[in-house]
Structure 1
Amino acid sequence: MQKADFFIHPSSIIDENTIIGKGTNIWHFCHISEGAIIGENCSLGQNVFIGKNVKIGNGVKIQNNVSVYEGVVIEDDVFIGPSVVFTNILNPRAFINRKLEYLETRIHKGASIGANTTIICGHNIGEYALIGAGSVITKSVENYELWYGNPAIKKGIVDKEGNKIKS
Protein backbone atom coordinates (compact mmCIF):
# COMPACT_ATOMS: atom_id res chain seq x y z
CA MET A 1 0.00 0.00 0.00
CA GLN A 2 1.35 3.43 -0.92
CA LYS A 3 1.50 6.26 1.60
CA ALA A 4 -0.90 9.09 0.84
CA ASP A 5 -3.27 11.58 2.41
CA PHE A 6 -6.18 9.34 3.43
CA PHE A 7 -7.81 8.07 6.64
CA ILE A 8 -8.00 4.44 7.74
CA HIS A 9 -9.68 3.59 11.04
CA PRO A 10 -7.36 1.44 13.20
CA SER A 11 -9.89 -1.42 13.25
CA SER A 12 -9.70 -1.84 9.46
CA ILE A 13 -7.46 -4.28 7.60
CA ILE A 14 -5.68 -3.17 4.44
CA ASP A 15 -3.85 -5.92 2.53
CA GLU A 16 -0.57 -5.41 0.68
CA ASN A 17 -0.53 -4.12 -2.91
CA THR A 18 -3.56 -1.85 -2.62
CA ILE A 19 -3.95 1.69 -3.88
CA ILE A 20 -6.02 4.18 -1.90
CA GLY A 21 -6.55 7.68 -3.28
CA LYS A 22 -6.02 10.99 -1.55
CA GLY A 23 -8.88 12.19 0.64
CA THR A 24 -10.48 8.75 0.98
CA ASN A 25 -11.93 7.71 4.36
CA ILE A 26 -12.13 4.05 5.38
CA TRP A 27 -14.15 3.59 8.57
CA HIS A 28 -14.53 0.87 11.23
CA PHE A 29 -14.04 -2.84 10.54
CA CYS A 30 -13.38 -2.60 6.79
CA HIS A 31 -11.21 -5.00 4.83
CA ILE A 32 -9.51 -3.96 1.60
CA SER A 33 -8.10 -6.97 -0.28
CA GLU A 34 -4.91 -7.32 -2.26
CA GLY A 35 -4.89 -5.61 -5.65
CA ALA A 36 -7.86 -3.35 -4.88
CA ILE A 37 -7.75 0.18 -6.25
CA ILE A 38 -9.83 2.85 -4.52
CA GLY A 39 -9.95 6.33 -6.02
CA GLU A 40 -9.71 9.76 -4.44
CA ASN A 41 -12.28 11.30 -2.08
CA CYS A 42 -14.17 8.07 -1.46
CA SER A 43 -15.98 7.09 1.73
CA LEU A 44 -16.30 3.48 2.86
CA GLY A 45 -18.67 3.05 5.79
CA GLN A 46 -18.45 0.58 8.63
CA ASN A 47 -17.94 -3.11 7.79
CA VAL A 48 -17.24 -2.71 4.06
CA PHE A 49 -15.35 -5.49 2.29
CA ILE A 50 -13.53 -4.75 -0.99
CA GLY A 51 -12.49 -7.93 -2.79
CA LYS A 52 -9.33 -8.82 -4.61
CA ASN A 53 -8.57 -6.67 -7.68
CA VAL A 54 -11.76 -4.57 -7.35
CA LYS A 55 -11.56 -1.13 -8.96
CA ILE A 56 -13.44 1.82 -7.45
CA GLY A 57 -13.42 5.28 -9.03
CA ASN A 58 -13.21 8.74 -7.47
CA GLY A 59 -15.89 10.27 -5.27
CA VAL A 60 -17.61 6.95 -4.50
CA LYS A 61 -19.67 6.54 -1.33
CA ILE A 62 -20.20 2.99 -0.06
CA GLN A 63 -22.42 2.83 3.00
CA ASN A 64 -22.23 0.30 5.88
CA ASN A 65 -22.27 -3.49 5.47
CA VAL A 66 -21.49 -3.78 1.75
CA SER A 67 -19.24 -6.43 0.18
CA VAL A 68 -17.86 -5.59 -3.25
CA TYR A 69 -16.53 -8.83 -4.73
CA GLU A 70 -13.98 -9.49 -7.45
CA GLY A 71 -15.60 -8.85 -10.82
CA VAL A 72 -17.38 -5.66 -9.73
CA VAL A 73 -16.21 -2.32 -11.16
CA ILE A 74 -17.53 0.92 -9.67
CA GLU A 75 -16.94 4.10 -11.67
CA ASP A 76 -16.72 7.72 -10.39
CA ASP A 77 -19.34 9.43 -8.20
CA VAL A 78 -21.38 6.30 -7.48
CA PHE A 79 -23.51 5.94 -4.33
CA ILE A 80 -23.94 2.44 -2.88
CA GLY A 81 -26.53 2.32 -0.08
CA PRO A 82 -26.25 0.28 3.11
CA SER A 83 -26.34 -3.52 2.87
CA VAL A 84 -26.28 -3.64 -0.95
CA VAL A 85 -25.39 -7.15 -2.18
CA PHE A 86 -23.23 -7.88 -5.22
CA THR A 87 -22.77 -11.38 -6.63
CA ASN A 88 -20.10 -12.66 -9.01
CA ILE A 89 -21.23 -16.22 -9.85
CA LEU A 90 -24.62 -17.23 -11.30
CA ASN A 91 -24.66 -20.79 -9.97
CA PRO A 92 -22.45 -21.06 -6.87
CA ARG A 93 -21.69 -24.38 -5.23
CA ALA A 94 -19.50 -24.70 -2.14
CA PHE A 95 -17.79 -27.79 -3.57
CA ILE A 96 -16.95 -26.30 -7.01
CA ASN A 97 -14.25 -23.65 -7.52
CA ARG A 98 -15.67 -21.19 -10.06
CA LYS A 99 -13.21 -18.32 -9.68
CA LEU A 100 -12.55 -18.44 -13.42
CA GLU A 101 -16.28 -17.94 -14.09
CA TYR A 102 -16.76 -14.55 -12.38
CA LEU A 103 -19.04 -12.29 -14.40
CA GLU A 104 -18.29 -8.56 -14.49
CA THR A 105 -20.80 -6.15 -13.05
CA ARG A 106 -20.18 -2.49 -13.83
CA ILE A 107 -21.76 0.42 -11.99
CA HIS A 108 -21.34 3.44 -14.26
CA LYS A 109 -20.58 7.04 -13.34
CA GLY A 110 -23.04 8.81 -11.06
CA ALA A 111 -25.39 5.85 -10.49
CA SER A 112 -27.13 5.43 -7.12
CA ILE A 113 -28.16 2.11 -5.63
CA GLY A 114 -30.62 2.09 -2.71
CA ALA A 115 -30.26 0.19 0.55
CA ASN A 116 -30.66 -3.61 0.59
CA THR A 117 -30.56 -3.93 -3.20
CA THR A 118 -29.22 -7.18 -4.68
CA ILE A 119 -27.45 -7.01 -8.04
CA ILE A 120 -27.11 -10.30 -9.89
CA CYS A 121 -23.71 -10.48 -11.59
CA GLY A 122 -23.14 -9.87 -15.27
CA HIS A 123 -25.35 -6.80 -15.47
CA ASN A 124 -24.52 -3.12 -15.81
CA ILE A 125 -26.08 -0.13 -14.09
CA GLY A 126 -25.97 2.85 -16.48
CA GLU A 127 -24.72 6.38 -15.86
CA TYR A 128 -26.84 8.32 -13.35
CA ALA A 129 -29.33 5.45 -13.07
CA LEU A 130 -31.30 5.25 -9.82
CA ILE A 131 -32.13 1.92 -8.19
CA GLY A 132 -34.78 1.97 -5.43
CA ALA A 133 -34.15 0.40 -2.03
CA GLY A 134 -34.80 -3.30 -1.69
CA SER A 135 -34.66 -3.98 -5.42
CA VAL A 136 -33.37 -7.15 -7.07
CA ILE A 137 -31.57 -6.33 -10.33
CA THR A 138 -31.71 -9.23 -12.78
CA LYS A 139 -31.15 -7.22 -16.01
CA SER A 140 -28.91 -4.39 -17.13
CA VAL A 141 -30.16 -0.85 -16.48
CA GLU A 142 -29.62 1.91 -19.07
CA ASN A 143 -28.36 5.46 -18.40
CA TYR A 144 -30.73 7.68 -16.35
CA GLU A 145 -33.29 4.92 -15.79
CA LEU A 146 -35.24 4.51 -12.54
CA TRP A 147 -35.75 0.88 -11.49
CA TYR A 148 -37.23 -0.71 -8.39
CA GLY A 149 -39.05 -3.80 -7.19
CA ASN A 150 -38.44 -7.54 -6.94
CA PRO A 151 -37.58 -8.30 -9.61
CA ALA A 152 -36.81 -4.70 -10.43
CA ILE A 153 -38.38 -3.18 -13.53
CA LYS A 154 -38.03 0.19 -15.22
CA LYS A 155 -40.35 2.76 -13.61
CA GLY A 156 -39.19 5.92 -15.37
CA ILE A 157 -36.35 8.25 -16.22
CA VAL A 158 -34.40 10.51 -13.87
CA ASP A 159 -32.21 13.55 -14.48
CA LYS A 160 -28.58 13.83 -13.40
CA GLU A 161 -29.68 14.90 -9.90
CA GLY A 162 -31.96 11.85 -9.51
CA ASN A 163 -35.28 13.66 -9.96
CA LYS A 164 -37.94 11.71 -11.83
CA ILE A 165 -38.77 13.25 -15.21
CA LYS A 166 -42.47 13.32 -16.01
CA SER A 167 -43.32 11.54 -19.23
Structure 2
Amino acid sequence: MSDEPLVHALADVQSLRIGARTRVWQFVVILPGATIGEDCNICSHCFVENDVVVGDRVTVKSGVQLWDGVRLEEDVFVGPNVTFTNDRFPRSRERPEAFPQTRVRRGASIGGGATILPGVDIGERAMVGAGAVVTRDVPPRAVVVGSPARIIGHTDG
Protein backbone atom coordinates (compact mmCIF):
# COMPACT_ATOMS: atom_id res chain seq x y z
CA MET A 1 0.00 0.00 0.00
CA SER A 2 1.31 3.43 -0.95
CA ASP A 3 1.97 6.07 1.67
CA GLU A 4 0.63 8.74 -0.67
CA PRO A 5 -2.77 10.23 0.18
CA LEU A 6 -5.62 9.00 -1.99
CA VAL A 7 -7.46 12.00 -3.45
CA HIS A 8 -10.52 11.29 -5.58
CA ALA A 9 -10.42 12.87 -9.04
CA LEU A 10 -13.59 14.85 -8.24
CA ALA A 11 -12.13 16.43 -5.07
CA ASP A 12 -10.63 19.94 -5.01
CA VAL A 13 -7.63 19.66 -2.69
CA GLN A 14 -5.62 22.89 -2.67
CA SER A 15 -3.55 22.12 0.45
CA LEU A 16 -0.14 20.50 0.17
CA ARG A 17 -0.36 19.37 3.81
CA ILE A 18 -2.30 16.10 3.50
CA GLY A 19 -0.82 13.21 5.49
CA ALA A 20 0.22 9.77 4.32
CA ARG A 21 -2.52 7.20 3.68
CA THR A 22 -5.29 9.79 4.10
CA ARG A 23 -8.33 9.29 1.86
CA VAL A 24 -10.21 12.30 0.46
CA TRP A 25 -13.39 11.39 -1.38
CA GLN A 26 -15.40 13.03 -4.16
CA PHE A 27 -16.81 16.54 -3.89
CA VAL A 28 -14.52 17.49 -1.00
CA VAL A 29 -12.93 20.96 -1.00
CA ILE A 30 -9.82 21.55 1.11
CA LEU A 31 -8.44 25.11 1.02
CA PRO A 32 -4.68 25.79 0.81
CA GLY A 33 -4.06 26.67 4.47
CA ALA A 34 -5.58 23.49 5.94
CA THR A 35 -3.53 20.70 7.50
CA ILE A 36 -4.83 17.11 7.46
CA GLY A 37 -2.96 14.36 9.32
CA GLU A 38 -2.10 10.78 8.39
CA ASP A 39 -4.55 7.88 8.00
CA CYS A 40 -7.61 10.17 7.91
CA ASN A 41 -10.84 9.57 6.05
CA ILE A 42 -12.54 12.72 4.72
CA CYS A 43 -15.84 11.53 3.24
CA SER A 44 -17.69 13.02 0.29
CA HIS A 45 -19.29 16.47 0.32
CA CYS A 46 -17.06 18.01 3.02
CA PHE A 47 -15.48 21.47 3.08
CA VAL A 48 -12.29 22.34 4.97
CA GLU A 49 -11.40 26.03 5.34
CA ASN A 50 -7.86 27.47 5.65
CA ASP A 51 -7.24 27.74 9.41
CA VAL A 52 -8.14 24.13 10.19
CA VAL A 53 -5.93 21.42 11.69
CA VAL A 54 -6.96 17.77 11.60
CA GLY A 55 -4.85 15.25 13.51
CA ASP A 56 -3.98 11.68 12.58
CA ARG A 57 -6.56 8.87 12.22
CA VAL A 58 -9.54 11.25 12.12
CA THR A 59 -12.80 10.32 10.38
CA VAL A 60 -14.98 13.13 9.04
CA LYS A 61 -18.22 11.75 7.62
CA SER A 62 -20.17 13.27 4.72
CA GLY A 63 -21.71 16.73 4.84
CA VAL A 64 -19.35 18.32 7.40
CA GLN A 65 -17.81 21.79 7.06
CA LEU A 66 -14.69 22.56 9.10
CA TRP A 67 -14.48 26.35 9.36
CA ASP A 68 -11.51 28.53 10.35
CA GLY A 69 -10.52 27.87 13.96
CA VAL A 70 -11.55 24.20 14.14
CA ARG A 71 -8.96 21.82 15.61
CA LEU A 72 -9.56 18.07 15.59
CA GLU A 73 -6.96 16.10 17.55
CA GLU A 74 -5.93 12.49 16.87
CA ASP A 75 -8.49 9.67 16.64
CA VAL A 76 -11.55 11.96 16.51
CA PHE A 77 -14.79 10.82 14.86
CA VAL A 78 -17.14 13.44 13.35
CA GLY A 79 -20.49 12.00 12.27
CA PRO A 80 -22.45 12.94 9.16
CA ASN A 81 -23.81 16.46 8.87
CA VAL A 82 -22.23 17.74 12.07
CA THR A 83 -22.34 21.54 12.05
CA PHE A 84 -19.38 23.51 13.38
CA THR A 85 -19.84 27.27 13.77
CA ASN A 86 -17.04 29.80 14.20
CA ASP A 87 -18.58 33.23 14.65
CA ARG A 88 -20.55 34.14 17.79
CA PHE A 89 -22.17 37.18 16.14
CA PRO A 90 -22.19 36.57 12.38
CA ARG A 91 -22.99 39.41 10.01
CA SER A 92 -22.80 39.39 6.25
CA ARG A 93 -19.46 40.78 5.01
CA GLU A 94 -18.21 41.43 8.57
CA ARG A 95 -15.38 39.12 9.61
CA PRO A 96 -13.91 39.10 13.11
CA GLU A 97 -10.19 39.79 13.45
CA ALA A 98 -9.76 36.20 14.62
CA PHE A 99 -12.13 33.27 14.93
CA PRO A 100 -12.38 31.47 18.26
CA GLN A 101 -10.73 28.05 18.33
CA THR A 102 -13.01 25.07 18.69
CA ARG A 103 -11.12 22.00 19.92
CA VAL A 104 -12.19 18.40 19.74
CA ARG A 105 -9.71 16.52 21.90
CA ARG A 106 -8.07 13.15 21.25
CA GLY A 107 -10.46 10.22 20.82
CA ALA A 108 -13.69 12.22 21.12
CA SER A 109 -16.74 11.33 19.00
CA ILE A 110 -19.51 13.59 17.71
CA GLY A 111 -22.78 12.00 16.60
CA GLY A 112 -24.52 12.85 13.35
CA GLY A 113 -26.34 16.15 13.08
CA ALA A 114 -24.83 17.67 16.24
CA THR A 115 -24.17 21.41 16.31
CA ILE A 116 -20.97 22.73 17.90
CA LEU A 117 -20.92 26.42 18.85
CA PRO A 118 -17.75 28.50 18.44
CA GLY A 119 -14.91 28.31 20.93
CA VAL A 120 -16.00 25.18 22.82
CA ASP A 121 -13.62 22.46 23.94
CA ILE A 122 -14.83 18.87 23.66
CA GLY A 123 -12.73 16.84 26.07
CA GLU A 124 -10.64 13.76 25.44
CA ARG A 125 -12.73 10.61 24.70
CA ALA A 126 -15.98 12.54 25.21
CA MET A 127 -19.11 11.45 23.34
CA VAL A 128 -21.56 13.97 21.86
CA GLY A 129 -24.92 12.41 21.04
CA ALA A 130 -26.58 12.72 17.64
CA GLY A 131 -28.40 16.02 17.22
CA ALA A 132 -26.96 17.56 20.40
CA VAL A 133 -26.32 21.31 20.51
CA VAL A 134 -23.02 21.92 22.30
CA THR A 135 -23.07 25.43 23.78
CA ARG A 136 -20.25 25.05 26.34
CA ASP A 137 -17.18 22.94 27.06
CA VAL A 138 -17.60 19.18 27.43
CA PRO A 139 -15.38 17.53 30.09
CA PRO A 140 -13.14 14.58 29.20
CA ARG A 141 -15.03 11.26 28.91
CA ALA A 142 -18.43 12.94 29.38
CA VAL A 143 -21.44 11.75 27.38
CA VAL A 144 -23.67 14.69 26.40
CA VAL A 145 -27.05 14.79 24.67
CA GLY A 146 -29.85 17.26 24.00
CA SER A 147 -30.31 20.93 23.28
CA PRO A 148 -28.49 22.45 24.98
CA ALA A 149 -26.22 19.45 25.51
CA ARG A 150 -26.10 18.16 29.06
CA ILE A 151 -24.04 15.41 30.70
CA ILE A 152 -25.87 12.09 31.12
CA GLY A 153 -22.89 9.88 31.95
CA HIS A 154 -19.26 9.10 31.28
CA THR A 155 -17.41 6.71 28.97
CA ASP A 156 -15.31 3.87 30.32
CA GLY A 157 -12.48 4.20 27.88
Same fold (TM > 0.5): yes
In structure 2, distance between residues paired with 1:66 and 1:149: 20
Long gaps (5+) in structure 1 = 161-167
1:106-159 C-alpha deviation (Å, 9 max, x unpaired): 000000000000000111000000000000000100100000001110111112
In the superposition, the TM-score normalised over structure 1's length comes to: 0.90
Instruction: Summarize the alignment of residues 79-118 of structure 1 with structure 2, pairs less than 5 Å apart.
Output: 79-98=77-96, 100-118=97-115
1:6-43 C-alpha deviation (Å, 9 max, x unpaired): 1001110011x430111100001000111111000000
In structure 2, distance between residues paired with 1:153 and 1:18: 39
In structure 1, distance between residues paired with 2:74 and 2:105: 7
**Conservation of the 8 A alpha-carbon contact between 1:116 and 1:135:** yes
Residue in structure 2 matched with residue 148 of structure 1 by the alignment: 145
Q: Partner amino acid for 2:75?
A: D
What's the CA shift for 1:53? 2.4
Secondary structure at the residue paired with 1:19?
coil
Identity %: 37
Q: Partner amino acid for 1:112?
A: S
Residue in structure 2 matched with residue 129 of structure 1 by the alignment: 126
In structure 1, distance between residues paired with 2:70 and 2:150: 21
Long gaps (5+) in structure 2 = none
**Conservation of the 8 A alpha-carbon contact between 1:18 and 1:33:** no
**Conservation of the 8 A alpha-carbon contact between 2:51 and 2:70:** no
Residue in structure 1 matched with residue 53 of structure 2 by the alignment: 55
Query: How many pairs align?
Result: 155
Residue in structure 1 matched with residue 10 of structure 2 by the alignment: 11
Secondary structure at the residue paired with 2:71?
strand
Matched, 1:158 2:150: no
Structure 1 segments (4+ residues) deviating >4 Å: none
Q: Partner amino acid for 2:65?
A: S
In structure 1, distance between residues paired with 2:25 and 2:98: 31
In structure 2, distance between residues paired with 1:96 and 1:6: 36
Residue in structure 2 matched with residue 164 of structure 1 by the alignment: none
In structure 1, distance between residues paired with 2:119 and 2:30: 22
1:51-73 C-alpha deviation (Å, 9 max, x unpaired): 10211000000000000011000
